[in-house]
Structure formats: C-alpha cells, structure tokens
Structure 1
Amino acid sequence: MKSVGDLLDRLQALHRRTEETPLFNPVFQLSLDLSRQIESGELTLDECGDLIAELECEALTSRARRLRRLVAPVDPAANIAELEATLADEAGDFSAFRARWEKPRLHAVFTAHPTFLLPPAQAEAVAEQASREGPIKPEACAVPSDRTGITLAFEHAEAMRAIGNAQDARDRIVATLLGAARERWPDEWHDFSPLPFRFAHWVGYDMDGRTDIAWHDSIGFRLSEKAERLARYAASLEAIDAGHPLLGEMRAAADYATDRARDFAADLSEPAALSAAANRLTADHPHKLLSLRDWIERLEEEALEADPQRAMALKTLAAAMRADGLGMGWIHFRVNAKQLHNAVRRRLDPKGELDLASKSAVVHLREAIAEVQPRRSNFAALAIESSTAIRQFLAMAQILAHIDADAPIRMLVAECEQPATMLAALYFAKLFGIEDKVDISPLFETESALEHGGRFLDELLAEKDYRSYARARGRVAIQTGFSDAGRFVGQIPASLAIERLQGRLAAAMAANGLADVAALIFDTHGESMGRGAHPCGLKDRLDWPLSPWARRRFGRAGIALEPEVSFQGGDGYLFFATPELALATLTRIAALHPGEADTDAPADPFYRRTDLSLDFYRAIRDHQHSHLESRTYARAVTAFGLGLLNPTGSRVSRRQSDISADREMSLRQIRAIPHNAVLQQLGYPVNVIAGVGSAAEGNYEEIAELLSESERGGQILRLVRAANALASVKTVAAWGELFNSAYWSSRPYRGTESHLSAPCEALAEYLVKDDRVGVFRRLASRLRIDALKLHRLLALLPAEEPGEDREHLRRTIGALHALRLALMQHMFLRAVSVPAFSRANDISRDDVLEMVFSLRIEDALAQLRRAFPTEFPRLADFDLDEPTEYPEGADEGYEALRRRFIDPIEQAHALSLRISTAIANLFGAHG
C-alpha cells in the first residue's frame, strides 16, 4: 500500500469483514498491515510521510471548505448587497432604525485559548482558500508545516491581526448603514451614530491559571495597542484627506504611545528603570492622549458641512473611535476567585478566621464597602504588590489614569461561586477609585457553579451595594463557559444548564428592580467538538449558548440584552483571518440578531414537555457523570498524557503543579481544551455524544418526536449527528490492542515475522501486566452499548440533509488512525530493541520504555541520547607526538545505534503529530 487510494480501499474491504466477525477491528488490522510493511522495509518512514502529506492535504482542504461553508457567501460585493437588501426591507421610522443599529448586535472577544493548531503558513493558506468562491485549490497544501514555539507575543500579534480585519469589516458595514440612512432620511441621518459591533480581547491580561504574564507585560501590551489603533485611525483619515489638520495630532499621539510601549517592553527589574519608564508615562505631555471625545466631536461637526461621501467617511471614522477608544478594542482582565479571596483576607481578615462562604463575611464586606475611601496608587505600588488580584486592580487603575480614560475594563472572576467574591471585587474597585469604569463579571463554568448559580444570582442581586454599582455601570455582567462545563458535565447538559442559569438571571434582575439596566452575557464557547465554531453554522453557534428561549426571558422582562461571544485562538481567529472572511462573518451575524427574540413566539415543545426534556437532560448528565467518575474513562483519556497533541498555545496544557505522575494522571490535571482534543485523537467525542442514546431508552418514539418538532431539539440533534459522523468505537478499541500482550506474542507466530521474534517477545513480556488493553476494551464496550441506543433513536428521526461525503470522511480519519497506530508499533519495537544501558540519574531502560509507551517521546529520546552519546572527544581532536594503536577502527561511537533506533523513534513521533493535526482539521477545530 503505497497510495492513499490503496489505504482507503483496503480499509473499506476490512470493514466488510465485520459483518462476518463483529469483533474484528478493521482499523487495527490496517495498522498491522502497515506495520508489517514498515518492519519488512517495504514501506519506509519517508514513504509514510508521503502518505500523511496527501492525507494532510485532504484535511486542510476540508477545513477550508468547512470554514467557507459556515460563513458563505464570502464575496465582499455579495455581502454588502445582502446587507443593503436587508436594510431596505427593514420597517420602522428613523428612531426605530437608530435603536436597532446604535447598540452592538454582538460583542466579539478574541481570546487566546491554546488552539493555535495550524502553523502560521498553513493557517494563512486555509484562510486564503476559504476566502474565494469556487473549488478549493490544492495551494492550501503546498506550504511548510514546520512549527515554531508559540509565545504570548505571537498570540497577541495574531489577536491584533484578527481584530484589525474585524475593524475594517465593521467600517464597511457602518458605511453601508450610513448610506441607507442618508438615502431614507436625508434630513435626519446626521444624527445617526451606528455601533453594530464591539470588539475586545484578553490576550496578555488573563491571569487565571498562569504565572508567566508580568504586570508590566499587560501595561506594555495596552500601550502597543494604543499606538497601533492611533496609527490605524490616522491611516483612515489620510485616505479621506491627506492634508487633514487632525493628522498631525494623531501621528504625534501614536509616536508617543509607541515610545511608551517601548519603555515597558524593556527590562524593568531594577527600580531605577521602572521609575524612569513610569515617570515618562505619568508626566503631562501634549501628546499624551487619554480620550477621543474631542476628536469624535470635531469629525462629526465637520461631517455636517461636508459633501455626502466625505461626511459618511468622517462619520465612519468617528464610529470606529466611539467603538474602540484608544485601543484595538476593550480589554478583559481575568483572575481566579481564590486569588480574590486571598487578597481580601489580607485586607479585612489578616488572622484568617473569616469564612467567605458565611453570612458574616458578607456583613464584613458590606461594612468595608461602605467605609472604604479611594486610595491613590502609582507604578511603585504596582511593582511591589504580591497579590495577583490586587495587582490586577492596580494595573487597571494605571491604564485608566494614563492610557485610556474612557474605555471600560472587564474584570472576569473564574470559579466565582459566592456573592462575597463579587463584593470583594467591588471593594477593591472602590478602593482604587475605578468602580465607575470596571465591569465585574462572575464566570459560571464548573459543575458547582452551574448547579448553584441561580441561588448565587438571587443573593448577589439582592445586595444593595451591588445593585447601586450595576445601576451606575448600566449593566449586570456575567460570563458562562463551556470549557470545564463541557468537559465535566457534557456539552449538551452544559448548554441546558447554562440556559437555565440565564433564565434565572432574567428573573433575578426583574425581581430586584434591575430591569432598567442591561444584561451582558459573555458566552466563552468551546462548545461542540472544538473551538473553531459550531459544526452546523453560525446560527447554531450563536443560539447554542444563548438560546431563543433565554433571550425571550429577557425580552418579556423588558431587559436589554448585550450578547458577547468569544473567538478562541488560532481556530476562532480564522473567521477574521482575511478581509473577506471578516466581512462575511460579521454580515452573517448582523443578519441573525443574536440579542433579540420574538417574545410572542409560540412555546418550543422542548420547554413545554418538561416531563420528557428534563428527564432526557438529567439522564444525559448522569451518563456523562458516570464516565467522569469512572477510572476506565480517566485512564483511557490520560493513557498517553498529552503525547498525542502538538503544543497549541503559550499557556501550559496541564495544571502547573501537576507536571509529573503521567501514569496516574487525573482528568482534572489536564485542561479542558487538551482533554477534548485527546477525545478527537482517540476517535470518539465522548463529551458530545455519550448518553444521548441511553437517555432515550424506554421513550424512543416520544424523544424522537420531541427532537424533530422542537427548535432546541433540532440543535441538539444536529450537533449529535455531526459528532457521530466522525466517531468510531472501533478506533477506541484499537488503541488498547497496542498494549495487548497476546497480540505481541502472537504476531511472529508461524514464522511470518521471525526477525521480530525477540522484540515482540520482549513487548509481550513487558506488557503482560499493563492495564490499558482492558481499559480501552471496557470503554469501547460502554460506548458501543450507548451507540446502539443512539442509532435506534436516530432511525426514528427524519433523515439529515446531505452534506460532505460522510463515508469518505470516516474512511480518511480511519486511515489516519491506522497509520498512527502503525507508527506507534514501530516506536515500540525500536524502543524495546535498544541495547540495555546502565542506570543513570535514577533513569533505567524500563523507565525509558514506559516514557515511550505513554508518548513522552522527547523525554525518552533525551535519556537515550545521554545513554548513547554521539558527540564526544575523538583521537583526531588531540595533537600528540606519541602514537597509539587503540582503539581500533573508526571511533564513531553510537552513531549506528542512533540511526537504527533513536532517529526512527523521533521521525515516527513527528509523523504521528502531523496525523494529530490532520485529524483535528477533519473535526474542524482543535479541542
């Protein structure tokens, strides 16, 4: 088998054998066929690389097709024409038009979760292909796949590039809106200030779960963003009028911000260096711009007297300034509730006697908030502060005082489960005098937070201090997330739990007299099978976390809704990777009205038939919980640590205290994104599919009817079908066979591979006590039973619309899995064949074997290279008069051993990681 066609044909033929022998595993059999070819020399690793390259190409073109399908059409002229047609059909007077378009349809947040799956050249090629109409061309494949280290600076630059394209797309939409208003209301359109989208990000400000971002990094990033945005404003104004008098002010302000950004990018470890940088930033200066209000007024006043085209261009620029302020967008800081607890205890409870979950803690915090007097702070206070949470408030105070005085800042609080935590945040905001510019937002994501979130909101909104704060800010802000929720609760139960929580927020706001302020709900996505987007389109992507049912709850209570969603890392940024994609994405979102709902719409059966839907939800949740509590599931997911995945971000993929102990790794030691990414690589998105079939047992017909008649049920069904189309229980089972002692002892049976007798016998003996064969078999059995019930349910539902060739897609993924299993067998055989070496630094040969079996390949190779060095002193290095006849022959040391054992392991592992990327591309996103 030297071609992909051969692989796919062989896999299809092997699948037919399952009709005769149900336990037969075509994926593992194909891997054995390939392994035999590799070990016989019939198929080289370089030729495996050629097969992988062809499959990589198919995966990349599939990714490009999917991306374009989600936002189509991508032609800019078609999108502007569609928007113009939509505006022409809109009913209502000028006041209604203004009300619709002077508030953001959506807040889009560009986060840097570790999902930079594709090397930059491949990401660019995929985006370029998706940006064109017509067939996807193979140019997406003809780019280098070399990876470089992903740094925070790289992630920040990628976020700025995506936001820049989003800003340009928004400008085109704003200009179209202004044009429509001028045509319909020629005497009133100057009063129109469109604001269809607002952008934000947290790259460089998210401190939850990481210690590698220093406070001066955040200051430096914010200054560089200010400089970049001012330069973009100047470029826009220059395009309108190259001699405009404001250009000089803009360029001078941009240069000043650039200089200050350079100051904070320098080494500030010494007090003198920090003092000099801080003094330059805090000093009065004619180019130290802190607000755009004056420029906005000047541009809009000029527009009143300008010709229509110039007026629209000036007002478009003013609209951009009003939306973004003195940065590329608004910013989100993020801390953990524990960090806030530690900080407030230091201020109010230095003896550590106060239980923050108690009523007395709330009483103490009420008193502290009532008595607190604002304190001035400077960069020295920031530099010496040891508390992460307080340091964030100090940084926000300096940004508001010396970089941008107008743009509010979000303070996201992860794992926030007690009202006292929010009051503690409010206390610090008041302590540093920034409560009028900071939106404190609790994150509901963990099992506990979702379970008790309704009560939390009832108690928080009942607090007088919080209500006063919310009214002053004009909004109640919360954040709901699918990372931990989708991992520990399951994607479907998480969505329904989040939906109920949002409904409780609407009720709590109404009950506490807060219907006159907005509800800002930030949904951080990560739903579905990855971070790129919901597989069934942008409508489902927006409706899944903030459903029409939840939106109607706010609408009926008279509460304005501010929806906010995240576009996460390399996958999410693809939607804004080119001007064409950015415009298409925003045009689709604008047409979907994600913050609105028809309050008169008839009740969805999903919510009316709660006798069915609640039981269905609870049964799925319980089934997911049973997996999470199962040692079998945990061992399977952690069987290879994170060795199946490429690094995809600057944040570590494991909790920072859990770098060792791969063998007994807990699921909670792996972050949500790599957890979900591992499920892709094992072949079955358990957290999406598992439990749906079992939950329908006993009520198949009624559940099928509910899912087919319900809008919400249809969303669930589309997601499950998309995931099921890529799932393979046989692949899950195939992983276990790698550790099957009987397989290795039988492989050279009858002399078919006598040259492998010794390593196969060694593997069989070593793995006889390994638990992984049983683990994967048990997990596959559980998944198969549930899948049978799912197929029974799906058979009762209307057929889905035809799309991409699902069978070809499944075979392609199966071929990739088989290739990787063959490569892993090659690594196992090479590793066990390495000659014995003496124990060094408490590392033995068996330790190295275990590293290979758990895919800690880099660690294993480092130990092998140390045991068998190829760089050492040679006779030729010495200039001696006395001759020697020892050692005899060429002193090449362990060069031959390295070529025979170490290099093949390294090459096979590199090929395996390329397969991981290809599989993720076929899923459409990473983790």
Structure 2
Amino acid sequence: MSGVEDLTRRLQDLHQRTVEMPQFNPVFQLAHELSRKLEAGEMSLDDFEALIAELEVASLEERADRLECMVAPIGADANRSELAGTLERSDFATFREQWERPQLHAVFTAHPTFLLTPQQSEAVASAASKGTAITADCVGGERPQVTLPYEHERAMRAIAHAQDARDAIVSQLLAHAQEQWPDEWHALSPLPFRFATWVGYDMDGRTDITWSNSIGFRLSEKAERLARYVASLEAIDADHALLSELRPAADYAAERAEDFTADLSDPAALSVAANRLTASDPRKLLSLSRYIDALEEEAKATDDGKRAVALKTLVAAMRADGLGMGWIHFRVNAKQLHNAIRRRIDPDGNLDLASKGAVVHLNRAIEKIQPRRSNFGALAIEASTAIRQFLAMAQILEHVDADAPIRMLIAECEEPATVLAALYFAKLFGIEDKVDVSPLFETETALEHGGRLLDELLAEPIYQEYAKKRGRVAIQTGFSDAGRFVGQIPASLAIERLQGRLADALDANGLNDVAALIFNTHGESMGRGAHPTKMADRMEWALSPWARRRFARAGIPLEPEVSFQGGDGYLWFSTPELARAILTRIAVLRPAQTDVDVPKDVFYQRTDLSLDFYRAVKEHQRDHLESRTYSRAITAFGLGLLNSTGSRVSRRQSDLSADREMSLRQIRAIPHNAILQQLGYPVNVIAGIGEAAEGNYEEIGALLAESPRGRELVRLVRAANALASVKTVAAHGELFNSAYWASRPYRGTEGHLTAACEALSEYLVKDDRVGVFRRLASRLRVDAMKLHRLLDHIPDEAPTENREDKRRMIGVLQSLRLALLQAMFIRAISVPVFSRANDVSRDDVLEMVFTLRVDDALAQLRRAYPTHFPRIDRFDLTEPTDWPDGSDEGYEAIHRDFIDPIERAHNLSLRITTAIANVFGAHG
C-alpha cells in the first residue's frame, strides 16, 4: 500500500467482507493494517505525510469543484448575458420596484471557520474561477494565528470584491434602463444588494473586543471606503472637482483610525485620540448626501451616456454603503440587556421581565426619557457591556457616519421586554432613529415562543411608532444553534413558521407598509443551514417560498438577509470572478420576490402528515441531545479533532484542566457540527428522518415526493447521507477497546508492542467509550435502515456526483487518522513513568492524549523530560567543583522516540481534519 490508489482499492476490498460479516469494520481494519506497517517500520510518518498531502490536494479540488458548480457560469460575459435575459421588458415603474430594494442583504460575519490557510483559500478560489491546478505547494504549511484583526482584514477583502461585483450589476441595470426608457431612467436608484459585517462588533459570547476596537475598525472601514470612492471617481474623471474633498476626507479617517489602534487605557491617551476625532476639521466628513446630490445632477446634465451610467453607479454604491465598507451589526446577549435595564428601572430586582407588568413599566419609562449626551469618557468608564454598545453606537453616529443605520442584534431574546429595553437605551442616547433592534430566535425555546413574542411586541403602540419611523421591523433567525438543539430539518421548519408569524403580526397590526428585514444566520455546511445542492436551494432553505408568499400576499416589503461566515463564507467572494458569479445567481433568483399565484404546496396542506413528521424528527433529535450516549461520544475527544479556526473560543468558559468529561452544551454550534463531520455522520441532519416515517413509508414518501418543499428537504438529507458512514462512527470507539489492544500482539506478530498493548489494554479495561460508540452506531444504523426504506419511495433528483469516490476518500482519510491516533496512544503509554509534579500524574497525561488535548500533554511531558539543563560553566565562581561529573544527559531519546512522534502524528491528524471538512463542503 504505497499510494492513495492502493489504499482506496484495499478499502474497497475490505468493504466486500461486510457481505460475509455485517459487523466487520473496513475503516478500522485498514487503520489497523496501516498501524502495523508503521510500527513494523515498513511505513514512516514521512510516508503518512505524503499520502495525506495527496489527499489534501484532492479534497481541495473537491471543494473547488463544488464552489464552481454552485455559482456557474463564472465568466463576466456569461453572467452579463444571464442577468440580461431575466430583466423585465415591461414598464419602468415595475423595473424600479424590482431593483430599488435590496434583493439580499449579505452580512460578512467572522465565526470561527477560518479552516483553510490563505494559500489554500487562494488555490481553491483560483481553481474554481480560473481553472488553475491545485498543487501540493499549498498544503502542510504553517497555519496563521486567527486574530480579530486577521478576521477583519479578510472580511474587508471579501466585501471589496462584493462591492465591485455589485457595481458591475448596477451598471448593467442602469444601462438597460437607459436603453429601454431614455426619458425616465435618471429616476432609477438601483440597490440590488446591501453589505454589512459584525466583525469587531459582535460581543455575544466574548469579552476580548474592546469598545476602542469597534471604533477603530469603523474608522478604518471609513478610510478604506472613501479611498475606494476616490478610485471610482478617478476612473471616471481624474480631475473631478470633488476629488479635492474626498481624498483629504479619506486621509483624515485613516489618521483617526490610527489613533484608535493605540493603547487607550490611559485617560490622557484616550483624551487625545477622542479630542482629535470630535474636533472640527474641514476634512471631517459625516454624510455623503451632498456628494450624492451633486453626482446625480452631473449625471443628468451630461450628454455622455457612459459617463452618466458610471456616475450613477458610484452614487448607488454611496447610497448602499455610506461612509463604511457596509453597515455594521453590534450584538449582545439578552442577559446583558436585562442586567443593564434593571440598573435603570428596577434597582431592587422586583420586576419580572417576562411579565406583562414589565412591558407596561418599560413603555412608561421610554415615554418619559430625556435623551442624554455622551462622550468617549462616558464610554471608557461604562461597566455594563450592553450600555457600552449603545454608547459606542452613539459615538459612531455622531463622529464617523451620521447616515448609515446600525443593527443591534439580541441573542437569546425570548421576551418582548428585552426588545423594549434595547429601545429604551437607544432613545436614552438619542439614536433610536438610526438603530434597528433585532431579536435573535435560535434556541428551541425562542423558536417555540417566538411567535407569541412577535404578536405581543408588534401590538405595542410604542414599538409600532418606532417601526414606522425606521421603516422596517428586523428579526434574526439562526440555523446554527437551532440545528444543534432541534436538528436541521425541524429547525428549518420551525424558523419558517416563525417567519410566517411575523407576516401575520405585521398584517394584523396594520404595519403593511413597514419592511420585514429577516436576517437568517447560517454557516456554510449542511449541518448549519447551508443547502449544498444548488444556489436556489441555498436561498430557499433560509427563507422558503411559502414564507415569502405570506409577506407578498399581505403586501409587506421583504428584505432577506443572510450571513457569509468566516473563511468558508468568504470563499464565495475570494476573487472578483466568484463575487460577480454569486451575486448574479442571487440577482437572477430574486429572493426578495415571489409569485403569489403558484399552486399550493401539498406539504402545507397535509399537516396531518407533515406536522407529525416534523414533531417525530424533532423528538428523535432531542433524544440524541439529551442522551448520555450521544453526549459522551461527541465529547469523547474533546475538541482535539479540530483545528483552531477563529479568534472566538470554541468552548464556553470552564476549567479546562479540571473536568475530564466535557458537557455537550459547553461546545458551541460550529465545533459541535465539525465534530459530527469528523466522526463521520451528520447526526443533526439525517437522524430521525427514517424513524419519523416508520409504518407510513409510502404515504410520507409520496408527500415528500409531490411537495417542492419536501423534495428540498430530501435533497439535503440525501446530500448528507451520501457522505455519512456508521462504520466510521463505530471505528472511533474501537480505539478504546481493551480487547483490541490485548489481542493485537496475541499471535506474536507484534512482539515488540507487547508491553505497550498490555498497558493500553489494562488502562482501558474500564473505559466506557467503546460501548458508547457502539451504542450510538447501533442506534444510527437502525434509523438509517428506516431512512433507506423511505428514500426508496422518493426519486433521487440530485444524485451526488462521484459519490463513491468521495466516500472512499473520506474512508481512507479516516483510516489514516485512526492509525495515527493508535501511534499516539502507543507512544504515550510507552513513555517511562515520571513522578507527579504540580498535581499532574502520568495517568493525567495519558488521559490528555486519549481526549486529544495533545498540546497540554506535550507540555507536561517536556516539563518531565527536559533536554536542556542549567550548565555549571555559566557561573563565574572562584571555588572549584567536581559535580556535576558529566554523567547526566538530557532526555533526547525520549523526545525522539515518543514526544516528537506524538506531536507530529497529531499535526498530521489535524491536516486530515481539514481534508475531511473540505469533502463535506465546509468546516462545522
């Protein structure tokens, strides 16, 4: 087995043995064979690395192929032609209505999904957009440390490509209108897309982002955007009169951004930076309205049609983005808001914020508010996270950009009083006319009771007045945590119903002229709300045609918004060609619009079947989440199977050294989904579908096959199932099988491992993980059998291309990693016993290795076995000594034979992690 092809053939041969013995595990058997070769010296870690590098390249090619298929065609001419073919030829008023509201708001978020190195991202993007070959040069290098500034820089790069792509689309729309309606086209103000980011502003679940970070980022975005406006205007007219104002404004913003990168913990330093920003300066620009008006008038006055289109394209960008790279989203947790509001209106803690009385109390408090002035000193000394965010927003609106509104996202929002608390602070600091308060519905409780919250909130006159002033009602629905807590299928259906409830509540309260801005946050993987089959499914998964029709029939304008998360999400915008392609696909799909006259979907008519189906899947997913078996299996390796992929911690706060068994709820949604990928089975997508149809396969199958929504659900399930492997799940448990280790040298074939295998067998004899994985695999197998029976009744509309090749690639990667983990276990158990130091024993170190807390284990081993000692000749002493006598030596051999191989094997296993995630399509 010298190459990947040999391993693939061997794995295929081993799969044939499952016909004779269904319990036979080909993945673990191949891992065992690889382990034997490694321990016998027939293979080395160098050989493993060569195999892994070849598979890494293949996985990156898979990712590039998927990226290309989702957005094709990619060429500029092809995209121009495709958009032109969809443009209405009817009347100008209809055309304006279609293109003057965003078809999509795109939010560039920075959740920890920076899985690929910059070189790997560039290779994938170049392969997808230009057809260049991916080579081994981009694998195996150092991973950059993913810091907040790194995330922000990558977000700005993606947004810049998105802006250029939008400009091309806007220019095409304007040229079309100019040709079709030459006497009217100047009235057109196209706004097909709006961009935003929360990178540097999202405070939910983290305390490492300071208010000065947020101000500094906003100023740097202002400087970058002004520089881009300057470049656009220079391309139109290098001597344009407005350049003499815009260039100094860009320089001024850059200087102020530099001020806020300094350490501002000293009040004196803060005072200098703040006073520079707040002082009057002829270069200080707070609004683009004057420039927008001037450029519009110039476009009307010119006889040069191309120049007029170019000027209006620049104006459209200014209207969309304002004085920043896009709009910004702050985010806080509901608890932070509750703590803040109690300080103001309920210092004794007598008010139940879930009660009707709290709403009445808050209404009165909001009515009586007299806005307060604030400055940077108030911001610096404010202790409350929530209030600090409002103070930061006030300073941004006052001194950075007076026109662009700011979103305030509230995580875990389950009560109307929470939204009103946010309105209270917005009004307290005089910014309620520029802040869109947006509750987030993501937990099971929030999804179940979110409809009630919306009904009550939208019935409040004070909220209605606020919504009319803003011109929109904003909510956020999250597929990531929802997919973790209730499963991806039931989460999607629950979110869909909640979106429908928003349409009903707006209609019932006469708010039909107020736009509904629905921000659907999801990741890039199928386990976190990204449908993998085609762009139409991806858009409809977040906001279904059924939900869109609810708004259309009530005459409510709809503004869909989705997230592109971190390194995975930014891939869509990593080259100008890809950015143009994806925005064109979305523009053609027009997710903000829908046809109200389409036939009714039977999925929503036959609720006797579909509702029972939803409840059964949800119940099955809940059983997994609450199951000790599932929790133990998911946390069996801690987070050690995963690379670090972001600046936000993947695990909620706890004592990492104290608890040996990690709680499932301590793991955030992204790593939870990532672990499912690495264990080989997307439980939160597939599990429960088969069991929900048990005893009624034909009728449920017919319903799903007849319904457009049902077929969409099935396409997601089939895509996940095509990559899933119950055998792989079971194989991970065999690592902890005491009988395996006891039997391995039984026939004398590996006599040199006898001591290590005996020690492992004895250590693991009481370990529960082998039984945990076997029980989980059995449950998944039973459900999978039922799923296959159901799928037999539903035609496969979108068969996974190269399905078996992908499965074999994942299987070989898993076998290689299992062999590496065995190598780590053998070497860890073989390290000579050392004395307990600082309450850390050898058994503690072993457990660290078994739970893949390898960095911690290596640190302890290096402390126990140093290679460098204090040298006597470093002292300049007059008195002679005969000690040490030179007989002491460092522990170089222990490092060479045990510690260094463990570290290398672990690093190789993390490279396998990346490759597996690439085949799944994304991290997490």
TM-score, reference length from structure 1: 0.98
Q: How does 1:558-707 map to 2 (within 5 A)?
A: 558-657=555-654, 659-707=656-704
Look up the equivalent residue of 1:282 and give its one-letter code.
Answer: T
Offset at residue 661 of structure 1 (A): 4.5
Q: How does 1:132-531 map to 2 (within 5 A)?
A: 132-133=130-131, 137-139=133-135, 142=138, 145-306=141-302, 307-526=304-523, 528-529=525-526
Offset at residue 602 of structure 1 (A): 1.0
Look up the equivalent residue of 1:154 and give its one-letter code.
Answer: Y
Q: Determine if contact 1:530/1:924 at 8 Å carries over to the other structure.
A: no
For structure 2, the residue ranges without an aligned partner over 5 or more in a row are none
Q: Determine if contact 1:129/1:140 at 8 Å carries over to the other structure.
A: no
Offset at residue 875 of structure 1 (A): 5.4
SS in 2 for 1:507: helix
Offset at residue 713 of structure 1 (A): 0.5
The reply on whether 1:126 has 2:103 as its aligned counterpart is: no
Q: Determine if contact 2:372/2:430 at 8 Å carries over to the other structure.
A: yes
The reply on whether 1:785 has 2:782 as its aligned counterpart is: yes
> Using the alignment, how far apart are the partners of 1:527 and 1:697 within structure 2?
31
Shifted more, 390-399 versus 789-798: the winner is 789-798
Offset at residue 750 of structure 1 (A): 1.2
> Using the alignment, how far apart are the partners of 2:192 and 2:872 within structure 1?
74
Q: Determine if contact 1:122/1:144 at 8 Å carries over to the other structure.
A: no
- Report Cα offsets for 1:709-749 as digits up to 9, x if no partner: 11101111100000001000000000110000011000000
Instruction: Count matched residues.
Output: 923
Offset at residue 77 of structure 1 (A): 1.4
Offset at residue 664 of structure 1 (A): 2.3
The reply on whether 1:80 has 2:80 as its aligned counterpart is: yes
Task: Classify 1:316/1:371 alpha carbon distance in 2 versus 1 (closer, same or farther; 3 Å).
Answer: same
* CA RMSD across the alignment: 1.4
The aligned counterpart of 1:839 is: 836
Offset at residue 180 of structure 1 (A): 0.4
Look up the equivalent residue of 2:173 and give its one-letter code.
Answer: L
The aligned counterpart of 1:13 is: 13
Offset at residue 801 of structure 1 (A): 3.8
The aligned counterpart of 1:104 is: 102
Offset at residue 704 of structure 1 (A): 1.0
For structure 1, the residue ranges without an aligned partner over 5 or more in a row are none
- Report Cα offsets for 1:213-244 as digits up to 9, x if no partner: 00011000000000000000000011111111
Selected match of 1:818 from 815, 819, 837: 815
Q: Determine if contact 1:506/1:559 at 8 Å carries over to the other structure.
A: yes
> Using the alignment, how far apart are the partners of 1:138 and 1:383 within structure 2?
49
The aligned counterpart of 1:708 is: 705
Task: Classify 1:876/1:35 alpha carbon distance in 2 versus 1 (closer, same or farther; 3 Å).
Answer: farther
Task: Classify 1:361/1:21 alpha carbon distance in 2 versus 1 (closer, same or farther; 3 Å).
Answer: same
The aligned counterpart of 2:65 is: 65
Offset at residue 892 of structure 1 (A): 3.6
Look up the equivalent residue of 1:293 and give its one-letter code.
Answer: S
SS in 1 for 2:130: coil
Look up the equivalent residue of 2:907 and give its one-letter code.
Answer: A
- Report Cα offsets for 1:59-114 as digits up to 9, x if no partner: 00100111111000111111112112222xx1421111111111111000000011
Offset at residue 137 of structure 1 (A): 1.9
Look up the equivalent residue of 2:746 and give its one-letter code.
Answer: Y
Task: Classify 1:876/1:33 alpha carbon distance in 2 versus 1 (closer, same or farther; 3 Å).
Answer: farther
Offset at residue 145 of structure 1 (A): 3.2
> Using the alignment, how far apart are the partners of 2:871 and 2:270 within structure 1?
51
> Using the alignment, how far apart are the partners of 2:657 and 2:566 within structure 1?
27
SS in 2 for 1:558: coil
- Report Cα offsets for 1:134-166 as digits up to 9, x if no partner: xx6234754553202100000000000000000
Offset at residue 187 of structure 1 (A): 1.3
Q: Determine if contact 2:52/2:813 at 8 Å carries over to the other structure.
A: yes
> Using the alignment, how far apart are the partners of 2:80 and 2:254 within structure 1?
35
Task: Classify 1:857/1:123 alpha carbon distance in 2 versus 1 (closer, same or farther; 3 Å).
Answer: same
SS in 1 for 2:560: strand
Q: Determine if contact 1:102/1:196 at 8 Å carries over to the other structure.
A: yes
- Report Cα offsets for 1:513-533 as digits up to 9, x if no partner: 111111110000137535694
Offset at residue 884 of structure 1 (A): 7.3
SS in 2 for 1:212: coil
Shifted more, 498-507 versus 793-802: the winner is 793-802
Look up the equivalent residue of 1:16 and give its one-letter code.
Answer: Q
Task: Classify 1:885/1:753 alpha carbon distance in 2 versus 1 (closer, same or farther; 3 Å).
Answer: farther
Give the percent of matched residue pairs that are identical in Structure 1 and Structure 2: 75
Q: Determine if contact 1:658/1:669 at 8 Å carries over to the other structure.
A: no
> Using the alignment, how far apart are the partners of 1:252 and 1:91 within structure 2?
43
> Using the alignment, how far apart are the partners of 2:136 and 2:533 within structure 1?
23
The aligned counterpart of 2:111 is: 113
Offset at residue 534 of structure 1 (A): 2.2
Q: Determine if contact 1:223/1:260 at 8 Å carries over to the other structure.
A: yes
Offset at residue 797 of structure 1 (A): 1.7
The aligned counterpart of 2:51 is: 51
> Using the alignment, how far apart are the partners of 1:652 and 1:480 within structure 2?
22
Look up the equivalent residue of 2:150 and give its one-letter code.
Answer: F
Task: Classify 1:365/1:658 alpha carbon distance in 2 versus 1 (closer, same or farther; 3 Å).
Answer: farther
SS in 2 for 1:117: coil
Q: Determine if contact 1:533/1:925 at 8 Å carries over to the other structure.
A: no
Shifted more, 793-802 versus 367-376: the winner is 793-802
SS in 2 for 1:443: strand
- Report Cα offsets for 1:827-850 as digits up to 9, x if no partner: 000000000111000000000000
> Using the alignment, how far apart are the partners of 2:83 and 2:210 within structure 1?
44
Shifted more, 509-518 versus 574-583: the winner is 509-518
> Using the alignment, how far apart are the partners of 1:422 and 1:532 within structure 2?
26
SS in 2 for 1:749: coil
The aligned counterpart of 2:537 is: 540
SS in 1 for 2:622: helix
Q: Determine if contact 2:512/2:556 at 8 Å carries over to the other structure.
A: yes
Q: Determine if contact 1:533/1:572 at 8 Å carries over to the other structure.
A: no
The aligned counterpart of 2:908 is: 911
- Report Cα offsets for 1:590-611 as digits up to 9, x if no partner: 0001011111111101111111
Look up the equivalent residue of 1:159 and give its one-letter code.
Answer: A
Q: Determine if contact 1:108/1:199 at 8 Å carries over to the other structure.
A: yes
Q: Determine if contact 2:451/2:501 at 8 Å carries over to the other structure.
A: yes
> Using the alignment, how far apart are the partners of 1:658 and 1:675 within structure 2?
19
Offset at residue 803 of structure 1 (A): 4.3
SS in 1 for 2:364: helix
- Report Cα offsets for 1:525-569 as digits up to 9, x if no partner: 137535694211211111012100000011111111110011010
Q: Determine if contact 1:57/1:138 at 8 Å carries over to the other structure.
A: yes
Offset at residue 257 of structure 1 (A): 0.4
Q: Determine if contact 1:60/1:141 at 8 Å carries over to the other structure.
A: no
Task: Classify 1:801/1:496 alpha carbon distance in 2 versus 1 (closer, same or farther; 3 Å).
Answer: closer
Offset at residue 889 of structure 1 (A): 6.3
> Using the alignment, how far apart are the partners of 1:156 and 1:138 within structure 2?
27
